[in-house]
């Protein structure tokens, strides 16, 4: 961790509020699958599916993404957020907006959609702007700041497209909703989430998993290919065709997942085995999702639902949970360093978030992934799948709680051996 600016880390409650919200939305998503499974996993256009997708993308992945950035930007990218006091307000508005959106879509209360659009769009665009300003002024590696900056630009575009889509659904704007939603989803999942995962992974794979560092030119070249493909794909999709958009998603997602799995397979110093398993399974699910975009499928399988399940319910969440457990352990360690008297030895990250706890969480998420995939493909067992999904996120919450209890216990322990 010698390359990290630990002294620049924000207070632990800044990223934790996002990470805890991510876990809570994961539990809600599991309950949603159990309650609306027959419609929530049936077609991408049912209101129940639209809500489930946003519970996963915004509630689970979005909160984790923003929380990780509040820690990663100053510590790893040497780019401090100058408007950090506004972050709690953005967090509250964003999560309230998601709740309003879910209620409005469930009850088809279209009058609430503009409110949901404002509560979701303003925080996302605001956070993206703050992050881009921090990156512009930052001192970290240029390729890393560039990759995160592209992700933040894509996040802002995604948020604005989402606002337009909600206003179109509410009857306020006259756009083609199907094309708009396709572009909105592509820019959000690939341009924002996948690029951010690649940027963070370029640092954390060597640091936490012992892989070789990717070549510095790889992330900028891959990110530029995504940007060009998404722009060309959006233009073509507006004309009624989606080949370029699908090709961009398939090739770039496959390239990232393949490169990540290759680096992991050739790791020289293997560390953090449970994190490696989370990352491997997550990337394998993303690779499978990319393949399913173009490969022939049985006629009773909805292609969009299979791809969405593999990517949004399994692939991204596995990467998110694996990194979340590492981040929380790291936050606990930093917090203890600042709280215990000087001269006391602080337990390492591995003691605050031990491998045993991580293995329990991993096993729970593997069971939930299998259950959700079976429920989607077999069109039955939705209640069991939802319960398994909620239970996996509850297990994640319990791991975070146990980490907090260890911190509390350590703070109350009388002086230990000097460092």
Q: Which of 382, 326, 321, 383 is nearest to 349 (CA)?
A: 326
* 28, 229, 320, 365, 383 from 313: Cα distances, Å: 13, 25, 11, 10, 16
Q: How many Å apart are CA 377 and CA 355, to the nearest integer? A: 33
Q: What is the helix (H) or strand (E) element at residue 119, kind and residue range? A: helix 113-137
- Sorted by where each begins, the domain ranges of the chain are 6-409
Q: How many Å apart are CA 303 and CA 44, to the nearest integer? A: 10
Mean pLDDT, the chain, as a whole number? 93
Residue range 6-409, CATH number: 1.20.210.10
Q: How many Å apart are CA 146 and CA 67, to the nearest integer? A: 19
Q: Report, as an integer, the average pLDDT of 385-402.
A: 98
DSSP E strands: which ranges in 364-417? none
Q: How many Å apart are CA 65 and CA 68, to the nearest integer? A: 5
* 4, 197, 224, 286, 387 from 147: Cα distances, Å: 18, 10, 9, 20, 37
Please report which confidence band the pLDDT of residue 415 belongs to, taking 50, 70 and 90 as the band edges. low
Q: Report, as an integer, the average pLDDT of 91-102.
A: 97
pLDDT reported for residue 55? 97
DSSP E strands: which ranges in 164-276? none
Q: Report, as an integer, the average pLDDT of 117-141.
A: 95
Please report which confidence band the pLDDT of residue 190 belongs to, taking 50, 70 and 90 as the band edges. very high
pLDDT reported for residue 3? 64
Please report which confidence band the pLDDT of residue 216 belongs to, taking 50, 70 and 90 as the band edges. confident
Summarize pLDDT for 5-61 with one digit per residue, the tens: 787 888 899 999 999 999 999 999 999 999 987 788 888 889 999 999 999 999 999
**Least confident stretch, 17-26, 79-88, 90-99, 382-391:** 79-88
Provide the percentage of residues in the chain whose pLDDT is more than 70. Answer: 97
DSSP E strands: which ranges in 56-98? none
pLDDT reported for residue 343? 66
Q: Which of 92, 105, 78 is nearest to 20 (CA)?
A: 92
Q: What are phi and psi of 318, to 5 degrees?
A: -65, -45
| pTM summary value | 0.94
Summarize pLDDT for 235-284 with one digit per residue, the tens: 999 999 999 999 999 999 999 999 999 999 998 888 899 999 999 999 99
């Amino acid at each position: 961790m010698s390359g990290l600016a630990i002294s620049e880390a924000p207070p632990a409650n800044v990223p934790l509020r996002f990470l805890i919200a991510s876990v809570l939305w994961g539990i809600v998503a599991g309950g949603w699958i159990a309650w609306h499974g027959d419609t929530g996993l049936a077609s991408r256009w049912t209101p129940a599916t639209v809500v489930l997708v946003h519970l996963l993308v915004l509630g689970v992945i979005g909160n984790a993404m923003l929380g990780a950035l509040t820690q990663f930007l100053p510590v790893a990218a040497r780019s401090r957020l100058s408007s950090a006091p506004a972050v709690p307000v953005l967090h509250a508005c964003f999560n309230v907006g998601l709740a309003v959106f879910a209620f409005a879509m469930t009850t088809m209360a279209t009058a609430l959609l503009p409110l949901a659009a404002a509560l979701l769009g303003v925080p996302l665009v605001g956070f993206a702007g703050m992050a881009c300003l921090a990156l512009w002024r930052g001192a970290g590696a240029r390729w890393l700041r560039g990759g995160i900056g592209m992700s933040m630009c894509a996040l802002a575009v995604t948020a604005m497209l989402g606002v337009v889509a909600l206003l179109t659904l509410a009857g306020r704007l006259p756009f083609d909703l199907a094309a708009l939603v396709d572009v909105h989803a592509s820019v959000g999942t690939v341009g924002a989430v996948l690029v951010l995962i690649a940027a963070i992974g370029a640092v954390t794979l060597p640091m936490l998993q012992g892989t070789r560092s990717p070549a510095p030119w790889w992330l900028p070249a891959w990110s530029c290919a995504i940007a060009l493909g998404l722009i060309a794909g959006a233009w073509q999709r507006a004309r009624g065709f989606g080949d370029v958009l699908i090709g961009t998603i398939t090739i770039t997602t496959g390239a990232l997942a393949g490169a990540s799995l290759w680096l992991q397979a050739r790791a020289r110093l293997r560390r953090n085995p449970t994190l490696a398993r989370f990352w491997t399974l997550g990337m394998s699910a993303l690779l499978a999702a990319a393949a399913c975009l173009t490969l022939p499928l049985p006629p009773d399988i909805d292609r969009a639902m299979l791809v969405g399940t593999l990517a949004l319910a399994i692939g991204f969440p596995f990467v998110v949970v694996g990194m979340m457990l590492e981040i929380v352990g790291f936050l606990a360690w930093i917090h203890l360093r600042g709280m215990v008297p000087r001269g006391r030895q602080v337990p390492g990250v591995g003691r605050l978030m031990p491998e045993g706890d991580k293995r329990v969480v991993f096993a729970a998420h593997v069971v939930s992934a299998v259950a959700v995939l079976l429920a989607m493909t077999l069109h039955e067992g939705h209640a069991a799948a939802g319960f398994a999904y909620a239970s996996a996120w509850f297990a994640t919450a319990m791991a975070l709680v146990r980490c907090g209890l260890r911190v509390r216990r350590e703070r109350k322990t009388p002086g230990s051996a000097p460092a």
